[in-house]
Copies of this chain bind each other. A is one copy, B any other.
Amino acid sequence: MKIKVVVTLKNGVLDPQGKAIQQTLNNMGFPEVESVRQGKYFDLEINEKDEVKAKSRAEEMCKKLLANLVIEDFKIL
A41 neighbours in B (Cβ, 8 Å): 6-8, 38-41
Contact A32–B8 (Cβ < 8 Å): no
Residue in B18, B34, B47 whose beta carbon sits within 8 Å of that of A46 in the complex: B34
A65 neighbours in B (Cβ, 8 Å): 21, 24-25, 28
With A25-B61, A32-B57 already in contact, the answer to whether A37 and B46 are too (CB < 8 A) is no
**Considering only CB atoms, which chain B residue lies closest to A46 in the complex?**
B32
A14 to nearest B CB, angstroms?
Answer: 14
List 10 tightest A-B contacts by C-beta distance, closest first.
A39-B41, A35-B45, A37-B43, A41-B41, A32-B47, A34-B45, A6-B41, A32-B46, A34-B47, A32-B48
